[in-house]
Structure 1
Amino acid sequence: MRADPNNGYVNKFQVYTGKEGNVAEKGLGERVVRDLTREIWGKYHHVYCDNYFTSVDLFQDLLNNQTYACGTIRTNRKGIPPAVANAKLKKQGDMVQRQKDSMVATAWHDKRTVTLLSTNSDPRDVTEVQRKQKNGEIINVRCPKIVKLYTQNMNGVDRADQLRSTYSICRKAAKWWKYLFWFMVDVAICNAFILMKKSPNHITTTKSGRRRERKQLEFRQKLAHQLIGDYWGKRKRESVGEHQTRGLSHWPTEMDKKRTCKQCAKNKIRREKIYSCEQCGVNLCVTCFKPYHMEKHPELFN
């Protein structure tokens, strides 16, 4: 997935459909990044990715296509300078950097050693970050500027996932295409929500005139009302006369299809049963048969 780091807007995504011919694809991560960024080549955009995708060949290819890149990288990747890959750093703020043309490999030690590869950084740009020690003391630690840039711009996909998961319509399903459908609907809703927040024509204000931040729940509720419109899907049930509720007419019977137990649903429990009441026409668990009728037809037990 390619997403905006500032708001989580999903620009493009690709569905992994598994191995072809039961053979693992070589260079899968590199191919995915190329596919997702090809339409922005030549515009000098900055692309950030994690260590699964990062490689020297990929970043060189992106640079040749006027696209900068930065990402954490695994130390066993081909082309990483040995001085960076094998760096033994122990003290906070220690770093090792190597540069070849516009590509910079960096190893920096914080709580552990972090290794990065970038084509959009200058190894001379060093800043400081504050770190709290075990004794409570706060100290300034030397830090390459590229580490701060990576931290600020790496969370686009995380933001998108967070927005989707907050009020996701996705449900567990045995069929993969259902999950994919729900996923795309959620992405479309979240993208629309982000665009509305950015739109100057859809700014909301409080009574005092201050700008009010839009909430995703409010957006989804209004969207649902607009999509439903005047539709009313409540089924009309035939009224049952008093003479029909007496006697031995409420027999348990087996239906042709499983449906949700009516009594369990009242307690917000989802159980699907194939048995139902012949007279009432509602599916019920065996244990729910009596309490349902005691509540629905108390005259049967008088």
Structure 2
Amino acid sequence: MIPEYLKNKLIGEYGKELFADITNSYRSIRKTTLRVNTLKSSIDEIKEILDSNNISFREVEWSNFSLILDNACEEDIRRLDIYKEGKIYLQSLSSQLPPLFVNPQAGELILDMTAAPGGKTTEMAALADNEVLITAIEKNKKRYERLKYNIEHLGAKKISVLNVDARNLDEYFMFDKILLDAPCSGSGTLNIKTINDFSEELVNRLVIVQKDLINEALKHLKVNGDLIYSTCSILKEENEQIIKEILSMHKDIELIPLDISMFSNIPILPVEIDSALCVKPTDIYEGFFVVKIRKIK
């Protein structure tokens, strides 16, 4: 089931015990999770509606807008009016983390470099009650249209959406904060349907893209601004190793430790950078990597 290249990488990086945990997650059917869209609703309203539809749920300790559903799949949720009206957004718990570390504040200029389908873009807008100015970029035309639809559907405002390649931004663009949820191999989200598409060639190709995107992001980050880099990969080649290389190339940046005190119950994998977070894939969480870089001069 597991491609030999991936098996060797995971055992080499995490050991056989964690490899077994990771591969068990690949075989699991992950719980459906959602984010309450606080621009249109409240968690109390959503809980009441889920109760009325006999959908059991669990709250998430570190979030006041996230729910884990125990007896409903995504297709079940799409039939509900709360989904059709944009009051909720189907989003994995792990992918809800990067916007929390961006911590958008009213009036800030924020860039979402690879934004489609818009879950993190609209989450940042909701976190700041539509008081941040977001530029959301997607180069793929079809995904760009989906991004625009989701932004409008969820009631997110003050967002400029660009159908361009984020690696070639006009030089006059400068931002207080940048979220780069980079294209990656998806090694933290694999399942029995997708694992056969995984390959060494895919990883090698995406590592080049990831480096290019980080270097471009740093050109457009203001001094004292933060870059949040995230992937849904758990391979160090796409995460810590890239960050180490970037740090060696740029003397005007430093790593800022993530405040993970509120996430103590999240399953994690060991990291080579103390200030980073790598979520271990389980039947609830996708594998995810997050790190914060600050431009200091």
TM-score normalised over the length of structure 2: 0.26
TM-score (norm 1): 0.26
In our comparison, the structure showing a higher alpha carbon Rg is 1
Higher RCO structure (Cα 8 Å, ≥6 apart): 2
